[in-house]
Chain A
Amino acid sequence: MSCSVLYMSMSLDGFIAGPNEGPDNGLGDGGDQLHEWAFPGAEGGDFEAAARRLRGVNRQVYDEFMSTGAVVAGRGTFEPAGGWGGDHHDGAPIYILSRNPAPDWAADWSLVHYVSDLDAAMGDAKRAAGDKNVLVHGAAIAQRALTAGLLDEIEIALVPVLFGDGRRLFEHLGVVQRQLERIRVLEGDAGVTHLRYRVPSSEANKKQP
């Protein structure tokens, strides 16, 4: 069965983007450093060639999120990334949570669906993904999906740096204790630690003391 899996690269102090994010600075100042593990030596901008150089555990995790069957993200992630050219990977359908319709430049992309209801979007994405997982990406969508109980798993690439400033992943969750079940730890190159957690259903969490 399809799982919704949040994939994020995060600094040890919890940031998924540097400061001064903007339309032309989607990862914030210096935010690229969080993604270097997936694109080693990509100076100059040839990310595909860089990704082909991946080996070992980092390759494994990269391949996992690039073989998901659908993508769910917020427009704050999608639009600064140029909408991934209309195809994140392999023609997987893309669901963008937004109160507004798609901007003109993305309106004709057949894989891209602008939706206003996260619950419905996640349902559509899971149906579209079939046996594959759904890639969930972005801090705002993560926070909404977690609080709505719509996230099944969390995969964090923990990057060995303290940013000190930027956009945090785990914020605005309310003071609620959420137990997680750690299901995998992988020791990646470049000091990156891949941590995978299952998010028990909210019912299971309520039974905790």
Chain B
Amino acid sequence: MGVVEISLALSLDGYVTGPHPTPEQPLGIGGADVIGPGGERWLVEESIAAAGAVVAGRRTYDIVDGWGEDPPFKMPAFVPTHRPREVRTAGATTFTFVPDVQSAVAQAKAAAGDKNVLIMGGASTADQALQLGLVDQLNLHIEPVLLGGGTRLFDDVGSDRIMLERTRLIEGPRATHVQYRVLR
């Protein structure tokens, strides 16, 4: 049985993008220089390889224009949105639009079988999934930078405390990679 995992890079002050993300600058002003896998691409590949389905927020989907003609996931992807859209197939990735985060994670779990569900952002989708108690694991890549503004992860996870257990710590050349299990 796979786990439901959030995997995101963030600044030390908790931002997953800089201010004003646009299709040209999906990580916001200055975000691309400081937030991302950098030399540790294998960690992202590890998360994708372990996943059987992806959940991506609608805003993220729109900002990156649906990851273009050949999205990197090559597996079923579920996008929560209030406005229904047709299923879209691009390369080996199929995007299914569903009404909310709860159903996105449920359908992704069914599609993933024994593999993981990868919640790859954005922050609002990740927060909702955490608040709904749907997340088993966090893989965070903490970049050595303070952004001072942008989109913050964990900004809306509810006021019930969520206890974690650190399960892995890797000191990358630049970022610090910490994996947590969500305790219930």
- List CB contacts (< 8 Å) of B128-146 with chain A: 130, 138, 140, 142, 144-146
Supposing A165-B159, A175-B19 touch, asked if A193 and B176 sit within 8 A by C-beta, the answer is yes
Interface string of B141-184 (1 = CB under 8 A from A): 01011111110011001111111111001010010101010000
Q: Contacts A176-B148, A180-B12; is A160 near B18 (CB within 8 Å)?
A: no
Beyond A164-B157, A164-B159, A191-B164, whether A170 also contacts B146 by CB under 8 A is: yes
A-B contacts, 7 listed (Cβ < 8 Å) = A13-B157, A160-B166, A161-B162, A163-B161, A165-B159, A176-B148, A195-B142
Q: Are A170 and B164 in contact (CB under 8 A)?
A: no
11 other contacts beyond A12-B140, A164-B154, A187-B169, with CB at 8 A cut-off?
A13-B153, A30-B161, A161-B161, A164-B157, A173-B148, A177-B30, A177-B147, A180-B146, A191-B180, A193-B169, A195-B12
Q: Is A185 an interface residue, CB under 8 A from the partner?
A: yes
Contacting pair B160 A173 (CB below 8 A)? no
Q: A174 interface residue, CB < 8 Å from B? A: yes
- Kindly report which residue of chain A lies nearest to residue B158, judged by CB atoms: A164
B34 located at the interface, meaning its Cβ lies under 8 Å from any Cβ of chain A in the complex: yes
A165 contacts across to B, CB distance below 8 A: 159
Taking Cβ atoms with an 8 Å cutoff, the residues of B that contact A are: 12-14, 18-19, 30, 33-34, 130, 138, 140, 142, 144-150, 153-154, 157-166, 169, 171, 174, 176, 178, 180
Is A177 a contact partner of B157 (Cβ separation < 8 A)?
Answer: no
Contacts of A181 in B (CB 8 A): 144
Chain A, interface size category, equals: 20 to 34
Q: Using Cβ atoms and an 8 Å threshold, which residues of chain B touch A169? A: 13
The total of interchain contacts (Cβ-Cβ below 8 angstroms) comes to 100
**Which residue of chain B has the shortest Cβ distance to A14 in the bound complex?**
B14
State A161–B161 Cα separation when bound (angstroms). Answer: 7
Q: Is A209 an interface residue (CB 8 A)?
A: yes
Do A160 and B163 form a contact, CB below 8 Å, given A175-B148, A177-B148? yes
Contact status B161-A162, CB under 8 Å: yes
Please, which residues of chain A bring their CB within 8 A of the CB of B130?
162
Residues of B within 8 A of A182 (CB): 144, 174, 176
Contacts of A47 in B (CB 8 A): none
Give the distance in Å from the alpha carbon of A209 to the alpha carbon of B32 in the complex.
Answer: 11
Complex Cα gap A17–B58 (Å): 33
Contact pick for B144, options A146, A163, A180, CB 8 Å: A180
List, in ascending order, chain B residues with CB within 8 A of A175's CB.
Answer: 19, 147-150
Could you say which residues of chain A place their CB within 8 Å of the CB of B161?
30, 33, 161-164
Contact in complex: B164, A162 (CB < 8 Å):
yes
Report the Cα distance A165→B131, complex, angstroms. Answer: 13
List A contacts of B13 (CB < 8 A). 14, 169-170, 173
A13-B157, A14-B14, A175-B19 known; A161-B164 Cβ under 8 A: yes
Chain A residues, Cβ within 8 Å of B154: 12-14, 162, 164
